[in-house]
Structure 1
């Protein structure tokens, strides 16, 4: 079964293993592109946008590590 094109913010939070409030902050800031749909204004994130965000974070992490700023917890 193919994965859905759009994810709820809760789905995104589960995928990234972060809180719902963190996902809302990412969408609000524009770091993660979301879309508000329907009369009730529900938020969704397209799978491709989530994957693009993850790739950007990998790139930023690589750049940070190469500059010696590896602050692993």
Structure 2
């Protein structure tokens, strides 16, 4: 099992474009690091999992809040 994912790997896992993937990192929503002399971005698999878990939690909270107001 590998520890780090490339941005194309992340984009594929989330089924989004590369520009959307870069935007997530630039906004700090998804944590990534730059590695090497060319500054290639990598995302730790655990950070991607945390991001996905956080989105699920946010969705649950939003649905619960919506249900309370109805």
Q: Which has the larger radius of gyration?
A: 2
**What TM-score do the two structures reach when normalised by structure 2?**
0.91
Q: Deviations over 1:26-50 (max 9, x none)?
A: 0001110000000010000000000
- The answer to whether 1:57 aligns with 2:58 is no
Query: Which residue of the partner structure matches residue 8 of structure 2?
Result: 10
For the aligned residue pairs, the C-alpha RMSD in angstroms reads: 1.1
Query: Which residue of the partner structure matches residue 66 of structure 1?
Result: 64
CA distance in structure 2 between the aligned counterparts of 1:31 and 1:39, rounded to whole angstroms: 24
CA distance in structure 1 between the aligned counterparts of 2:62 and 2:21, rounded to whole angstroms: 22
Query: Which residue of the partner structure matches residue 19 of structure 1?
Result: 17
User: Any unmatched runs of 5+ in structure 1?
Assistant: none
**What TM-score do the two structures reach when normalised by structure 1?**
0.87
Higher helix share: 2
CA distance in structure 1 between the aligned counterparts of 2:20 and 2:41, rounded to whole angstroms: 14
Deviant stretches of 4+, over 2 Å: none
Aligned pairs, how many?
Answer: 67
Residue 67 of structure 1: how far off its partner (Å) = 1.4
